[in-house]
A and B are shown apart, each in its own frame.
Chain A
């Protein structure tokens, strides 16, 4: 009785699996394994009304910021990685071409002020969210995170983790230019 052809099946299936893993390993080199795509891309940013760090009696609302695109950078004084991101923000603050707004996340205002004083303030404006309630509406789950919001208040890009020159060049700047190009 001739041998059944099915005996090659396990080998073929296994070979496919190895290829799959190899692809996965390669992917892993170039991607952050913890990255979760935001469901809010191309959706309106949540409406917010948050106090300014400089003067907590004054508030900044989403409506006020409409009209031109801006970057919203979620940071905190207790966040180590924000310290790593900081020099990049300082270097790029005027090169972005759009305002850089700091979003102080679950932080005591005096701690944030001290931190900015110590390290330098790259932000054109800083708003605070002490309770973190609004941050949930943004889908924030850690710091640092950075959002690019267009003139109509729609989130166009989100980056999780520290911004690096590489990310800025490859991902963020093209998106900013696209916004400016389309006149939104």
Chain B
């Protein structure tokens, strides 16, 4: 039952999303400010339609937050200040960029670790298989 209600909640949220629109004319000072705004909101998650960015989302919530962010930019707040403000209210989940924290260490260091492990395997493979160039027999025929 609880799950059913949760689904209803989701469906409602999505239905709401379909009504309003992501197109949101805002009076930017100049192109640079507009680009900054787009870049910033592209990296923030819409909490309602959770796999759309704040820039793209149709949800009313996203529209409201875009206005809020725009106002804060007009007030001269930096990107970091804006993000901190949002995170204080919505948790780091609102950021698409996972911050480096104890809970995300495996995420950020996992790939370099895998690369290192793979690199070691490759090096071992190459050491076992490669011979000095001179000692390899000439291969006749098409080198393809």
Residues on A lying within 8 angstroms of B by beta carbon are 32, 34, 36-40, 78-81, 84-85, 106, 132, 136-139, 141-142, 144, 160-162, 164, 166-167
Partner of B9 from A38, A81, A136, A139 at Cβ < 8 Å: A81
Chain B residues lying within 8 Å of A39, measured Cβ to Cβ, are 87-91
Interface of A is mostly: loop
Alpha-carbon separation in the docked complex, A159 to B125 (Å): 55
Whether the Cβ atoms of A137 and B5 lie closer than 8 Å is no
- Chain A minimum-CB-distance residue to B94: A36
Whether the Cβ atoms of A36 and B12 lie closer than 8 Å is no
- Looking at the complex, which of B22-30, B34-42, B58-66, B133-141 is the stretch in contact with chain A? B58-66
Nearest CB of chain B from residue A122's CB, rounded to whole Å:
17
Nearest CB of chain A from residue B33's CB, rounded to whole Å:
22
Residues on B lying within 8 angstroms of A by beta carbon are 1-3, 5-6, 8-13, 15-16, 47-48, 50, 60-61, 64-65, 68, 87-91, 93
Chain A residues lying within 8 Å of B16, measured Cβ to Cβ, are 78
Whether the Cβ atoms of A106 and B47 lie closer than 8 Å is no
Q: With contacts defined as CB atoms under 8 Å apart, how many contacts are there between chain A and chain B in the complex? A: 68
Whether the Cβ atoms of A142 and B89 lie closer than 8 Å is no
Chain B residues lying within 8 Å of A136, measured Cβ to Cβ, are 64-65, 68, 89
Known pairs A34-B6, A84-B8, A166-B1; list 9 more (Cβ under 8 Å).
Answer: A36-B93, A80-B12, A80-B15, A106-B60, A136-B89, A141-B90, A142-B47, A142-B61, A164-B1
Known: A141-B61, A142-B48, A142-B61. A162 touches B9 (CB 8 A): yes
Partner of B2 from A37, A141, A166 at Cβ < 8 Å: A166
B8, B10, B12, B50: residue with the most chain A Cβ atoms closer than 10 Å? B12
Can you name 23 A-B residue pairings with CB atoms under 8 Å? A32-B3, A34-B9, A34-B10, A36-B91, A36-B93, A38-B91, A39-B88, A39-B89, A40-B88, A80-B15, A81-B8, A132-B64, A136-B68, A136-B89, A139-B90, A141-B61, A141-B90, A142-B9, A144-B9, A161-B5, A164-B2, A164-B5, A166-B1
